[in-house]
Amino acid sequence: MKLQLKRETGIPLYIQVQNLVKDLIKNGVWMPGSKIPTERSLAQQLHVSRNTISMAFHDLEHQGLLVCHQGRGTFVAESDEVVRLESRKERLLRIIDMAMEDATTLGFSIDDFMAITHVRAREKRDILSRVNIILIECNREQVEFFAKELAHSVGVIINPILIGDLETRPDKFRDIIRKADIVITTLFHLQSVKEIVGDLGTEIISIALSPLLDSIVHIARIPNDAHVGIFCLSNNFADKMIASLRSAGINHLQYSVFLGSAKKEVLLEQIDSVDYLITSPGRKQELKNHTRKEVVEFIYSPDQASTNLLRATLMELKEKNLKKWE
């Protein structure tokens, strides 16, 4: 089977490699448990560098689709991991169907099943509402967005704290953190957070963040040497975003950074001075209200492994709390 990439699309090659591998797995060309071509072999087939393949394989391994065994090679993950390619809704429906079948086998009617699961879900929701979780991050753009994203993913309320506030007023926030069940931070800030709050006994979980693929793809398609405006609240976010784009192989753009909110007249001048606009989370609609130019919202999101780890930790915490409150 001939494998090829589409260089004219502007999509970074390592992302195209990831999508190609996912398609091969999803279509059954590469079966669960089967050994796949080496990085060197695939690089030769696709006419790309071995580093490009290595980067794609590394991300796919973190997503649970590939498994690397030193000295043996790289394999497609077993079927229970490959099932992640299916939609979450389809998986949930299958779980519900299996539970209903088990319930009817035990002598319960469908109405019984509906009533019992409704009560159980309400109980779980009430337990989760009592869980106190804090998220510590470095910039304003991301901390509130992360909190909302994680809250949506795991079904709990998460309270955000800026690491800058924590460092300048540790006494104020140490008491808040002491009362928390879990503290979440990024891998980059883990050591700093541990140094400040590590002796309080609160469990600290680190999560890995990566840019959303849609953001990378949109920016990769911007023409060479285009002048791009970055609209955000802090230099920290702008620097991190530009570094992420360069890591993805996007080096063909010129950037101007516009910090903070501005009066309408100033904002219009800033917009007119650039060809394309990239915004931190939450400002996309504000910019679109003032221009017809393309506006790309650049978003970092927790990877699936981090979300699963948090879910597992919450399940353990729920069981403890359930025993405590029963």
**Residue with the larger pLDDT of the pair 21 and 124:** 21
Taking residues 205-213, report their average pLDDT.
81
Contact 325, 312 (CB under 8 A): no
CATH superfamily, domain 213-298, is Response regulator (3.40.50.2300)
Its CATH class, for the domain covering 7-85, is mainly alpha
Task: Evaluate the CA torsion angle 95, 63, 281, 141 in order and state its sign.
Answer: positive
Which pLDDT value is given to residue 202? 80
Which pLDDT value is given to residue 325? 45
DSSP label at residue 191? H
pLDDT at 51 exceeding the cut of 90: no
Smallest CA-to-CA distance from 11 within 309, 220, 290 is with 220
Q: What is the pLDDT of residues 78-99, one digit of tens each?
A: 655 454 555 556 777 888 988 9
pLDDT at 307 exceeding the cut of 50: yes
Taking residues 314-326, report their average pLDDT.
61
Q: Which residue intervals of the chain bear CATH 3.40.50.790?
A: 130-209+303-325
Which pLDDT value is given to residue 252? 87
Instruction: Tell me the C-alpha to C-alpha distance, in Å, between residue 45 and each of 20, 23, 78, 250.
Output: 13, 17, 25, 23
Which pLDDT value is given to residue 272? 93
pLDDT at 291 exceeding the cut of 50: yes
- 273: three-class secondary structure by DSSP: coil
Q: For residue 60, what pLDDT band results from cuts at 50, 70 and 90?
A: confident
Which pLDDT value is given to residue 183? 87
Q: Which residue intervals of the chain bear CATH 3.40.50.2300?
A: 213-298
Q: What is the pLDDT of residues 103-120, one digit of tens each?
A: 999 999 999 999 999 988
Q: What is the pLDDT of residues 258-279, one digit of tens each?
A: 987 778 889 999 999 999 999 9
CATH superfamily, domain 130-209+303-325, is Ribosomal protein L1/L10, domain II (3.40.50.790)
Task: Evaluate the CA torsion angle 241, 247, 253, 254 in order and state its sign.
Answer: positive
Which pLDDT value is given to residue 258? 92
Q: Which residue intervals of the chain bear CATH 1.10.10.10?
A: 7-85
Question: Helix count (H) and strand count (E) of the chain?
Answer: 15, 12
Q: Mean pLDDT in the chain?
A: 80
Give the predicted TM-score (pTM) of the model: 0.54
